[in-house]
Structures are given as C-alpha cells and as structure tokens.
C-alpha cells in the first residue's frame, strides 16, 4: 500500500497539492477536492450504504482527460474508481482515499438514423439515451431503471425490457472508445483490438475506461408498455411465471414482489401491502399486444393496469424512475432471490444491507443537487 493511502483523503490531497494543481490545469474538466463546496455532492453515491471519501473526483470531459488522470494515478500509486451512473450496489464507483474518474459529464450523443447506429457518451443513463431514441422510433435494449448508467450496465452485459426481442445490451454493441491502464486511447471493435472488444462485452469494468459506446439501433415503430399491478398470491405468481414462459419474444415482463409504493394510481388502502408489480414491455402493435397481454390480465382483477401504447421512455422508464428506490429492495424474479432467505447482497453471500438514516431512497441526497452538477433529471424530479 502506498504510504499516502494510510492517511485521510484531505491530508493526501494536501500532500499532493502541487501535482494535483498541475493536473487540474491540464484538464478540460474539473477536479473536486475535499473542502470544495461541491465535494459532498460529487462524492455521494445513489446507494447510501457507502461513504467513500476520495482524494479527489475528476469530472472529466473527454478521453484525453481520462488518460491524464490515469497517468497521474499510476505515477502516484493511487487507486482509481470509475463512475458512470454510480449504481454499483457494492460501491465500486468510488474509492476511499483513491481517485474517482467521474464520467457523468460525458453526455455526447450522435444518432445516425440512416446507418442505424448511435455513439453514446458513457456518462449517459439508460433513460437519457432511450428518451432521445424515442424521437426516432429507435431503441437500444438497456435495463429496467432509467437512472442506471449505460457504462456499468453495458460492461456487465445488460438485460432489460427488450431482452427477449433483441438479446442483451452487448448484442447491440458495435464499438467503443477506451482508455487503457497505460493511458492509451483506443478504438475497439470486431477488427480493432478484438480481444479487448470481446472482454468489455460482459467482462465488467476492469479492462479499461470506456468513454464512448457505439450501438446498433433497432427500429421500434410500435411499443406497448407500463405497469401491471396484481394481488400477491402464490397462484397468481405461478400463473404469471407460466404466462411469461409462454409469451411471444416481443413481450418482456419484469416482475417484482414488493410493497405497493404510494403512487397515485394505486388505491391508498393497499399502499405498503405486498403486491405483484410487473413492468410489461411489448415491442409491437397494440392489436398483437392485446393478445399477448391477455393471459396476464386474466390472472386477477388488476390493482392497476397502465399498460398502454406509446413511447418506451414515457411508458416504462419514466414510471420505473418513480418507484426505483422501492423496487431496489424488492425480490427481482430475474435477480438473486432465494425463497428461504429473501433478497441477497450481490457483494457477499449475506442479506441486503439495511437502509441507512436516509432510508432506502437512492435519490434522497440528489434532490438537493444544483442544476448541472448532477443531470439525472429523472431522479431529481421524481
Ligand atoms: C435499481 C437498479 C436496477 C438495475 N436493473 C438492471 C437491469 O434491469 N438490467 C441489468 O442488466 N442490470 C441492472 N442493474 C445492474 C446495473 O446494470 C449494474 O449495477 C451496473 O454496473 C450499474 O452501472 P452504472 O454505470 O450505473 O454504475 P457505476 O457504479 O457507475 O459502475 C458500475 C461498475 O462498472 C464500472 N464502470 C462504470 N462505467 C464504466 C466505464 N465507462 N468504463 C469502465 N468501467 C466502468 C465501475 O467502475 C463500477 O465498477 C440494476 C442496478 C440497480 C441499482
């Protein structure tokens, strides 16, 4: 361990002050240090179980900034954490007494509808890219939560509303711009650095820092989706699973067994009671959707049925943003559910950590964020 790592973040940044100043003057982006007005907000993670205090947070603007910070960390023997959406439940996108390379300013989006491709900055969230693609009736299949970063999601494989129709997010990944540990900026695809391209398709964040992703776009002229809330009984749950197995590939259903959130479309009497909260996503016309959805609707009188034709962003992402905090602690049927022990902590074999003093709302601290500091509008406005 480097001797600087044994002391606090503030002491370390003071000890490195001259070198940090030189680094800051080279960057297009900005360094946020302990004691700076923005430090507490910049270091906060959506999952409040983590309280890492980095030496500084580098709000980078481009790949050259990333390469400079990587070089600085290597020369000073410092640990690096990379942050896109910040949703790592294990707190991997920050580092106690290390450096955070914060990609949230990398919001570039270049949509080519002719070629059916998009270059997306790795600071974008699934919701931000999907909202922009809605305008063109195009889609990339991301996960079920708008505020999750495309960075961590794509590097982990990515599964969500379009998975049964289009496969994983990495099935749409065509190329990437990546900064390696040696500070090189590489373009990778099937023919350029093919091994590295293979590794980042599901291998996680350990192969370099991706600054831009290029995805293949799929046309989505028709979409039907939204929440379907059903009573939570064993029979209805079993019926739902059977209906999902028999459903056409156009339909992806993500089901959570969770306490009913206090949402205006749910009767007050059931708030807090266990319900089956399903997000339905059908990639096709309203006529064929009705047929595919009928087996789910016939399981019971729905407590709420907001499954409607319309754009994907508005019908699924905007709505999940509103209950994301509660769904986090719910039992994801496609997640790590063990019937005997309940939800698992994916970082260990133990149960999920208890919510801290801020409750389980990952957006709680962010609501105080000033415009421009954190641009996840879904979270701050929910
Ligand atoms: C509420 C919630 C819902 C979720 N739903 C789904 C889902 O439906 N489908 C699904 O597949 N997954 C889902 N996930 C898991 C999610 O995809 C992963 O947690 C993902 O890693 C989060 O990405 P992020 O960019 O937001 O997180 P971060 O915390 O920013 O990053 C996660 C990890 O990836 C690394 N990393 C991030 N960006 C880069 C980059 N550009 N270059 C190199 N390394 C990088 C980080 O260092 C960190 O180790 C969900 C997670 C949460 C919390």
CA distance 335 to 43: 28
Average pLDDT, the chain: 84
Handedness of CA 204, 252, 260, 239 (dihedral sign): negative
| Per-residue confidence band for 328, with pLDDT thresholds at 50, 70 and 90 | very low
Q: Ligand 1 centroid to 269 CA: how many Å?
A: 35
- Name the residue with the closest Cα to ligand 1, atom 44: 205
Here the tokens at position 128 are 């931000």
- Model confidence, pTM: 0.84
Ligand 1 mutation pick, 65, 122, 153, max ligand atoms within 8 A of CB: 153
> What are 279's strand-pairing partners?
227, 254
Q: Could you state, in order of their start, the residue ranges of all structural domains in the chain?
A: 6-102, 109-219, 224-309
Token pair 């942050």 in the structure block, residue:
83
Is 330 close to ligand 1, i.e. is its CB under 6 Å away?
no
Identify the DSSP state of 92: T
The closest-lying atom of ligand 1 relative to the alpha carbon of residue 83 is: 30
Is 124 close to ligand 1, i.e. is its CB under 6 Å away?
no
Q: Which numeric CATH code is attached to 224-309?
A: 3.40.462.20
Top-confidence residue, 355 or 32? 32
Indicate the burial class of 115 (C-beta count within 10 angstroms; 0-12, 13-18, 19 or more).
exposed
Is 142 close to ligand 1, i.e. is its CB under 6 Å away?
no
CA distance 5 to 320: 40
Per-residue model confidence as pLDDT tens digits over 226-256: 999 999 999 999 999 999 999 999 999 999 9
Q: Tell whether domain 6-102 is in CATH 3.40.50.1360.
A: no
Here the tokens at position 283 are 């990639």
Count helices and strands (H / E) in the chain. 13, 19
Is 122 close to ligand 1, i.e. is its CB under 6 Å away?
yes
Is 89 close to ligand 1, i.e. is its CB under 6 Å away?
yes
DSSP labels for 340-359?
TTEEB-TTSSSBPPPPBTTB
Per-residue model confidence as pLDDT tens digits over 187-209: 999 999 999 999 999 998 889 99
pLDDT at 370 over 90: no
Q: Which CATH number fits domain 109-219: 3.40.1190.20, 3.40.640.10, 3.40.50.720, 3.30.465.10?
A: 3.30.465.10
CA distance 357 to 381: 21
Q: Ligand 1 centroid to 149 CA: how many Å?
A: 6
Is 139 close to ligand 1, i.e. is its CB under 6 Å away?
no
């Amino acid at each position: 361990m480097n001797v600087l790592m044994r002391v606090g973040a503030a002491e370390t940044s003071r000890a490195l002050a001259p070198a940090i100043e030189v680094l800051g003057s080279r960057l297009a982006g900005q360094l946020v240090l302990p004691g700076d007005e923005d430090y507490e907000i910049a270091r906060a993670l959506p999952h409040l179980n983590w309280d890492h205090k980095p030496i500084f947070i580098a709000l980078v603007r481009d790949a050259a900034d990333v390469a400079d910070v990587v070089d600085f960390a290597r020369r000073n023997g410092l640990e690096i954490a990379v942050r896109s959406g910040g949703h790592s439940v294990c707190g991997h996108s920050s580092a106690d007494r290390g450096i955070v390379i914060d990609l949230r300013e990398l919001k570039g989006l270049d949509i080519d509808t002719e070629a059916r491709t998009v270059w997306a900055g790795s600071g974008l969230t699934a919701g931000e890219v999907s909202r922009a693609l809605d305008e063109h009736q195009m889609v990339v299949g991301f996960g079920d939560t708008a505020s999750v970063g495309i960075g961590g999601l794509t590097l982990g494989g990515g599964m969500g509303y379009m998975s049964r129709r289009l496969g994983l997010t990495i099935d749409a990944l065509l190329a990437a711009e990546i900064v390696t540990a040696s500070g090189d900026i590489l373009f990778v695809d099937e023919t350029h650095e093919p091994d590295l391209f293979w590794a980042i398709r599901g291998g996680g964040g350990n192969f370099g820092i991706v600054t831009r992703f290029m995805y293949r776009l799929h046309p989505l002229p028709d979409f039907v989706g939204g929440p379907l809330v059903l009573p939570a009984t064993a029979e209805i749950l079993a019926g739902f699973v059977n209906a999902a197995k028999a459903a056409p590939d156009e339909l992806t259903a993500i089901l959570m067994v969770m306490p009913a959130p206090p949402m205006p479309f749910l009767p007050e009497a059931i708030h807090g009671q266990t319900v089956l909260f399903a997000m339905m996503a059908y990639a096709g016309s309203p006529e064929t959707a009705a047929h595919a959805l009928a087996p789910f609707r016939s399981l019971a009188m729905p407590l709420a049925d907001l499954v409607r034709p319309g754009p994907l962003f508005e019908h699924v992402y905007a709505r999940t943003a509103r209950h994301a905090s509660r769904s986090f602690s719910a039992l994801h049927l496609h997640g790590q559910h063990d019937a005997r022990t309940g939800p698992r902590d994916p970082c260990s074999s133990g149960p999920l950590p208890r919510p801290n003093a801020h409750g389980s709302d990952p957006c709680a601290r962010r609501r105080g964020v000033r415009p421009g500091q954190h641009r996840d509008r879904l979270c701050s406005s929910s």
